[in-house]
Amino acid sequence: MMRKHSSHIEAGSSSCCSGTCYCSKKVKVTICVVIWTVIAVIVALILAVIIKAATLQELFERMELGARDDPVFMSATEQEILERSQRLVDAISYRTISFSGTNLSLEAMTDFGTFLERVFPNLHDSDFVTFTPINTYSRLYRIEGTEKTLNPYLLCAHMDVVPEGDFDLWTHDPFDAGIVTESDGQDYIFGRGAIDDKHAVLGIMEALEYKVVNKEQPKRTFYIGFGHDEEVSGYLGAAEISITLEKMLKDNGEELDFLLDEGMFVVADIIPGINVPLIYIGVAEKGWAVVDLDAEGDQVHSSTPPLESSIGILAHGVANMEDNKQPSMFGKGPEIDTLRYAAPHATFLLKMILGNLWLFSGLVSSALELSSQTDSIQRTTTAVTIFNAGVKENVVPSQAHAVVNHRIHPSDNLEDVLELDRENADRVKVTLRDSFPPSEVSSYSNDVIPFQIVVNSALEVFPDAKPVPGLMVANTDTFHYKNLTDKIYRFTPVYNLPEDIARFHGIDERISVDIYSKVVQFYYRLMVNADFDVKIAPTAQVEVKPEEVEEFLEILEESDYESPINNTDSNLLPLTKVMEESDENSANETDSHLMILQDIPEEPNENPSNETDSGLPPSQDILEEDFDAMPVNETYSDMLPLESAPKDLDLYDLTPEEETFSNRTID
């Protein structure tokens, strides 16, 4: 047998089996084919992976909003930066702490409101800014644009903060630290609220105050909402702001285009292999659930402890919850695009992995799990935040109670989360106390102008960072505004390394003077960039210069129209002729108006940043050369048809050309 085997080896040494088996030639060929096929598939896969990595394209394409290469910022001398920083320091000194829904620091909040009015006097005094107190402590501002805009937006922030926690662990007083130079040589504004969220409140106010002082009234109307109880769910602040805002929008014939609230930030060094900072925009937000855990046992003398105490039972349940996490949802939510958008900026090795998530998603999910911060983007998280039991050291207590706070991934659902909780804590009573669902995902494709406005503004202050959409892993006031717009973004341009993320609600919360200056500039640029997309309502009055009135009258004359306007002194052109004509006439009027609106191409202008380029149909070109500075908006097609114009809108019996004129805005 042995001999036979060795002779076979010799005879067949050139075969693919190296002559070590007794297979027939046909089997050998088949095995060869299979082996080579497997090798070929593996080589093809490796090649595909390499080619995909080598050809990864940037997914975010920046839209020109007008001032890309040379954005004009607020003036920021050293003195101005210092004064702005000092105002944030002062803001932090107000202890506007929310302890619970029924325990808010209302006196401090009142003082904080007075402080805002004192340090930003001009905006509070401005003709184009209206302030409405909401539920006494929250604040809603309407900033009237120079145009009657249909698509205002909302900037949000909150004025309350969480308690400082363990005071002794802070290196500086959380409410009275001032500006501190740290060992890295940088100046920091320390204190509770520095990044959550007084930097945003003050940043928005600074930018608006600057615009008011410099007479830079925006073209586009916008709103500012500052809640006073965000840290305890916003039911008294944001929820009430939302109700008032909804009414204001309705009364003004407006629809909220988008909103920007706090949320994610610029983050660096969070994923090994991605060596650029990421502008992480929260395009969706996790849901929230609070679960009570109650265990019972015998209350006995501590000298004769029970086999299992209520504390032991509860501790086991909680430990199980931490060990058996809620399942990964990787690939089912916005986290996948966070990585896809980041991939082109990774090292080549990481590009091969992130560029081929169809192959490596399991590997990536396991890698994300290595850090609690990255893990939070792929699953529902479980945090045990309260654990109470016992009253005396020699009494075994009968009751033990804990609270778990879940943040629910958008692809998860509450029932499944609770089912796993009950499995993990099977001898514990599990009761849902409070919850709200994850948000919808807001659109972030490259043609979504609000997303572009937010990202462009961030890129203007962090030009080397790369934008990525992603999941907001905590919660904000945006939940209360969800019926006002479907474009909700959560971001402030705070720069965080992984160790800084722990400062949110943690110890030594701080923001550098340098980054705070960028926060202020970001809001300023956002207010400028947002003017790019002004959707103008059909107006009853058009502001024109006297010489333009003359031009207009000439056109009227040429068209044999007998104008009732003889007051050319006024720079207001009143359009006061009531449509008293017959039904037939008014129907024609409406038609002609609609014809003009519908003639405008639906597609955005190819060069929307160039306000002097006409995106108008030929019938409107008649006036083109006369009004070079007129903004031509690619969204005319979205304008209200006459039927939805305000009821008291007075209109002339206008020709199409005149209609065109009346519907355009003259700077």
Q: Of these, 474, 530, 537, 600, which contacts ligand LCTF36SX (CB under 6 A)?
A: 474
Contact 287, 414 (CB under 8 A): yes
When asked if residue 338 is in the footprint of ligand LCTF36SX (CB under 6 A), the reply is: yes
Q: Of these, 115, 128, 387, 504, which contacts ligand LCTF36SX (CB under 6 A)?
A: 504
Nearer to ligand LCTF36SX, 73 or 504 (CB): 504
Residue the block writes with tokens 């916005």: 334
Q: Is the dihedral of CA 503, 504, 510, 511 positive or negative?
A: positive
Nearest residue to ligand LCTF36SX, scored by beta-carbon proximity: 474
Which of the following is catalytic: 147, 196, 209, 230?
230
Q: Which two tokens stand for residue 665?
A: 């805005």
β-pair partners for 131: 141
Nearer to ligand LCTF36SX, 374 or 635 (CB): 374
- In 3-state terms, what secondary structure has residue 56? coil
When asked if residue 475 is in the footprint of ligand LCTF36SX (CB under 6 A), the reply is: yes
CA distance 92 to 299: 46
| Burial (Cβ within 10 Å: 0-12, 13-18, ≥19) of residue 536 | buried
Active site residue 160: yes
Residue the block writes with tokens 């639906």: 602
Nearer to ligand LCTF36SX, 262 or 508 (CB): 262
Contact 605, 615 (CB under 8 A): yes
The 3-state secondary structure of 140-209, one letter per residue:
EEEECCCCCECCCEEEEEECCECCCCCHHHCCCCCCCCCEEECCCCCEEEECCCCCCCHHHHHHHHHHHH
When asked if residue 376 is in the footprint of ligand LCTF36SX (CB under 6 A), the reply is: yes
- Among 135-143, 325-333, 373-381, 562-570, which window interacts with ligand LCTF36SX (CB under 6 A)? 373-381
Nearer to ligand LCTF36SX, 175 or 652 (CB): 175
Q: Which amino acid, residue 320?
A: N
Which is nearest to 461 in space by CA: 405, 515, 397? 515
For the beta carbon of residue 132, count every other beta carbon within 10 angstroms: 15
Nearer to ligand LCTF36SX, 382 or 662 (CB): 382
User: If you count them, how many residues does the chain have?
Assistant: 667
| Burial (Cβ within 10 Å: 0-12, 13-18, ≥19) of residue 110 | middle
When asked if residue 160 is in the footprint of ligand LCTF36SX (CB under 6 A), the reply is: no
When asked if residue 285 is in the footprint of ligand LCTF36SX (CB under 6 A), the reply is: no
Nearer to ligand LCTF36SX, 189 or 377 (CB): 377
Q: Do you find a cis peptide bond into 486, omega within 30 degrees of 0? A: no
When asked if residue 488 is in the footprint of ligand LCTF36SX (CB under 6 A), the reply is: no
For the beta carbon of residue 106, count every other beta carbon within 10 angstroms: 14
State in angstroms the smallest separation of the CB of 344 from ligand LCTF36SX: 14
Q: Of these, 271, 295, 336, 420, which contacts ligand LCTF36SX (CB under 6 A)?
A: 271
CA distance 342 to 275: 10
Residues numbered 174 to 233 that lie near ligand LCTF36SX (CB under 6 A) are 196, 230-231, 233
Active site residue 606: no
- Among 91-99, 357-365, 418-426, 497-505, which window interacts with ligand LCTF36SX (CB under 6 A)? 497-505
Q: Which positions are catalytic?
A: 160, 230
- Residues in contact with ligand LCTF36SX by the rule CB under 6 A: 196, 230-231, 233, 262, 267, 270-271, 280, 288, 338, 373-374, 376-377, 473-476, 501, 504-505
